[in-house]
A and B are shown apart, each in its own frame.
Chain A
């Protein structure tokens, strides 16, 4: 047995002239919740497609439970979701769940799954008559139909209302406690922050950062200084914006920024210093100013 649920080893994939993945290395260990972050076009979906066997890498390797994900038998412990609006309209909710469950050697009981995802009442409804949020819930439920060892979710919260999102998160935590590994991508960074212990940041087909959430945040070490007033030009500000009449200044050294602000002698009020949210860390990591020279060079 391999200790990795899924791996990418120097995996590259091109689409025409586009380098969607550029020598990615990634190990996903049993039992973790991994959040994959990156802007559109970063290569997240391509990476998931390789790991779930939809595509093959041009060079390098991907493994799923120690084997080739392109082989159906290696996908017996994998759970994924269809993309939005992709469900067969005329099939009933319970039928769809049953159909998917029948692919797996030891599926979860259909009733239990429907119950967990709040779909019991809708079991007899045709998928086409469900609301967008209900369809998303059904899609998410399908990932768990086979009682998988690894669940891969691509932007699972898109189109979910808050209640549905919370119950999805609850289901993810529940299955994770029972040993299911979770790999998810999201644009809702605050949400990944609430769920994922480990975070991988991708851009332009490469891994920019990979580590425990805390470490990723400390790597960029940015703080946000919020203050009201007429501000002079201040050194060390990575990014500034005006929100609700208050300046939000992103900086690597908040102590120095506050000292500079006091020394400048201007009037200010409501000064607060807050730690980095993942969203800000992410912005700092992927914004052009923080790119490594190597990455910038590759673009040319």
Chain B
């Protein structure tokens, strides 16, 4: 277990030195924050709307860090002979996997910095320290099914397929889940579809924490359902990959 911090440290160092990888994680949420929220006075000038939008963008930042880091990261690991070499060292397979997950978590937290700063400095968004604390907790928890999604993609396809797949899943899911525009602007059919999506459930949980409203039970059960389903899929793809390469 003591090897997980070691792996996290080196993987983080390895990733952060690739400018596009580091920038990609930070740039998208920041860009969207500026584009959808800050530049739109009717949102950024209104405390309730700005707070909601900042919550949505924070969730998007966390989700994209998880999905990109784990999806592309694991697919890349699998393609490199270096990672087979690491398996001959006196550390188990969990060291690499644990390091990957912690690395993704670091990037998720890092990506919250510019979004939070923009919300604080450039909009009328407001939240108490306690609300921010519970929101951070909710963000990480709500991000878990997306970590599983990332792992599933990473363990089931090569890098060249993993990156477009992640993009193809992430952006429509984020939009339909109400992470770019609030669902109150959705037509009825989209709102109805949106309600069963993991992104929408995660959004409701995060906004519940941010506005002090507490977790809505329907969203919570949908989120748990997605977590179990995607978790099962991730374990299945991990085991299948292990079986192919290391049995």
Contact = CB atoms under 8 A, between A and B. Distances in A.
B10 A91 contact: yes
B88 A86 contact: no
Nearest to B82: A86
B134 interface: no
27 contacts: A54-B87, A54-B88, A72-B89, A72-B90, A72-B91, A72-B92, A75-B88, A75-B89, A75-B90, A78-B88, A80-B85, A80-B88, A82-B81, A82-B84, A83-B85, A84-B81, A86-B82, A86-B84, A86-B85, A90-B15, A90-B17, A91-B10, A95-B10, A100-B89, A103-B90, A104-B90, A146-B90
Contacts of B6: 99, 102-103
Contact of B85 (A73, A76, A82, A102): A82
Contacts, number: 68
B81 A56 contact: no
B14 interface: yes
Interface in B56-77: none
Contact of A91 (B14, B91, B92, B246): B14
Interface residues of A, number: 31
Interface class of chain A by DSSP? loop
A195 interface: no
B194 to A, nearest CB: 39
B18 interface: yes
Interface of B: 3, 6, 10, 13-15, 17-18, 80-82, 84-85, 87-92, 246-247
A90 B14 contact: yes
A85 interface: yes
A88 B99 CA distance: 15
Interface in A240-290: none
A90 B15 CA distance: 8
Contacts of A87: 82
Contact of B90 (A55, A76, A82, A91): A76
A81 interface: yes
Contact of A54 (B15, B17, B90, B246): B246
B22 to A, nearest CB: 11
A57 to B, nearest CB: 10
Contacts of A103: 3, 6, 89-91
Given A91-B10, A91-B13, A99-B10, A86 B81 contact: yes
Nearest to B21: A90
B14 A88 contact: yes
A246 to B, nearest CB: 43
A98 B81 CA distance: 19
A292 B34 CA distance: 75
Contacts of A74: 90
